Amino acid sequence: MGSLIQLDHLTRRYGRRRGVERVSLSVPEGALFGFLGPNGAGKTTTIRVMLGFLRPTSGEARIFGLDCWRDSKAIKRDIGYLPGDLRLPAWMDGTNALSIFGAVRGRDLAGAGRELAEKFDLDLRVKVRDMSRGMRQKLGLILALAHSPRLLVLDEPTSALDPLMQQTLHELLRQRAAAGHTVFFSSHSLGEVEQLCDRVAIVRAGEIVADESLAVLRDRAGHDVTIRWKDDAPALAIEPPEFLKLTRCERAVWQGTLEGPVRRLVDFLAGKSVEDLSIGRPDLESLFRRFYEHERKDRQ
Amino acid sequence: MNRGLLIRAFRESWPTTLLLGLVLMGVEAALAFVLPKFGAQMSEQWLQMDFARGIIQAMLGTEIGDRLGPQMFQSIAWVHPVALALTWAHALVCCTRVPAGEVDRGTADVLLGLPVSRWEVFISETVVWLLCGAAILTAALVGNLLGAQGVPPEHRPQLSRLFIVLANLFCLYATVGGLAWLVSALSDRRGRAMTIIFLVLLSLFLLNYLAQFWHPLERIAFLSPLHYHRPVTVLGTGAWPWKDMGVLLASGGVMWLAGGAVFSRRDLCTV
């Protein structure tokens, strides 16, 4: 399967201020791709370059094999985009928004829009000025999804949705991905990316620090380990091995991250008086924290 | 040009056009009704006073000479500061909608996320602006004709000559719009763009006005677009001011093109 989105050493600066630095990533067709990072990491800047709002300072951004700046119009025919901070003209309601967006795209979006509005439980007759933030977000999603685009670019799409609607959206995105559409899902909510996406890139301070499948990412991140010793005397005498990075080392309890295979730990503990042992996969939340630990330390 | 963008621009422009059009119609009706009467009551002796002549000349942007008469007073309706302020305000509001207005209200990302080139956006917005401009000037003409019904027939302007004045005024409107497009294309804040354009227009208005009193300014009076809008001459002679209209259209066109070029090349998103 070819790459639908291809970013090569993409750099975008705002004068002296950093936007993104040498970002390279590749999103295959049909993927549910999570783009993770905290606020200000460069997620929105990357998306804006992809959509041709910003010109790259250096490097290249291509979608469908076309240049994101030069061929922006052609690219956007097959893209559904939801901005992070969605604002629509106050006078619009759902019906005339669909009619205008349909006229711009040269397609009738009324039918598809109504179906989506039913799924999202949105009254299309309400004017934007009278909508809550959640309702506006639903309308933005309907406008992004109604023309069944080949690529969906969603910048923090669930930020104003209640959990039920989040589930509805996840379901819809899974269906679209199963039908061969690609979803580029930017978020700082790690839980939902873990639930939804099969591949993830993590952006930190404008740079990509990881770009792999969730399974590989978890493997790379090691295991969370808790060892409870039978009595504290031997624990004090034992030196922790190199492959066990301890974050908590009390008299009877060790807690930390195991790097490498579990077998090494089992071998190490053999014959020692262990009362309880817990080995688990880290959730994405702690994985994410680990990636940012360095940044925090640098700041300190 | 894109049909959806035209609909969108029209939906957002008609309330301003309707409001300013109605006000302009009322202002023109009042001026067309009052000014000839005022002229009839005004003694020629009074107009021989340098100060009074100066004010009228400054407003008309030309020497009155021996053109004292109904035409002179009719033409004041087309250079009156209130009428000019209303037409310019309309150009200012319409021509700063994109991109400054879109960025300012946060809707630029949604607009630019659509499959349209920036030139398509620019041209669609321009077409709607010009149509609305034509509508607002037509409202002014209707107001002027209605007001003229209240004065004796010999004091009413000829319709054919009024059309020429209106065409000239439309060219002036296009120049102001061209400037507004350019400033808007360079700006991310609509308020800032409007303030800059207002100050430039005020300076150019004063330049044209003061050049009648202070002769050193005459040398640079050609920089003011009002220098190319002289309805008193048109109403007096009935001749088309092709050169003036050409200068106005050319300068407006150049600024519009520059605005489009900036808009199509610059980085743009909600800030």
Find the chain A residues whose C-beta atoms sit closer than 8 A to any C-beta of B: 48, 51-55, 72-74, 76-77, 79, 81, 83, 85-89, 91, 96, 99-105, 140, 143
- DSSP annotation of A130 reads G
Inter-chain residue contact B114 with A76, CB threshold 8 Å: yes
State the smallest CA–CA distance between residue A22 and chain B in angstroms: 19
CB atoms within 10 A of CB A9: 12
Q: What pLDDT is stored for residue A91 in this prediction?
A: 95
Chain B contacts of A101, Cβ < 8 Å? 4, 114
State the smallest CA–CA distance between residue B267 and chain A in angstroms: 5
Compare CB distances from A89 to B107, B114, B267 and report the shortest one's residue. Answer: B107
What is the rounded radius of gyration, in angstroms, for the C-alpha atoms of chain A?
23
User: Which residue of A lies nearest to B111 if distances are taken between CA atoms?
Assistant: A88
Q: Which amino acid is at B199?
A: L
Q: What pLDDT is stored for residue A292 in this prediction?
A: 64
Q: What is the tens place of the pLDDT at every residue in B54-75?
A: 777 767 666 666 666 667 778 8
Per-residue pLDDT 10s for chain A (300 aa) are 578 999 999 999 988 888 899 999 999 999 999 998 888 889 999 999 999 999 999 999 999 999 999 999 999 999 999 999 899 999 999 999 999 999 999 999 999 999 999 999 999 999 999 999 999 999 999 999 999 999 999 999 998 899 999 999 999 999 999 999 999 999 887 778 888 998 999 888 888 888 888 877 777 777 889 998 887 556 567 888 888 888 888 778 888 888 888 889 999 888 888 889 999 877 666 776 766 665 565 555
Q: What pLDDT is stored for residue B61 in this prediction?
A: 65
pTM of the model: 0.86
d(CA B94, CA A138): 30
Q: Sketch out chain A's domains with CATH numbers.
A: 3-213 (3.40.50.300), 223-280 (no CATH)
Chain A contacts of B11, Cβ < 8 Å? 91, 96, 100
User: Which residue of A lies nearest to B103 if distances are taken between CA atoms?
Assistant: A87
Encoded tokens for B212: 């009648």
Please report the number of interchain residue pairs, chain A to chain B, with beta-carbon separation below 8 angstroms.
79
Strand partners, A185: A34, A154
User: Which residue of B lies nearest to A13 if distances are taken between CA atoms?
Assistant: B267
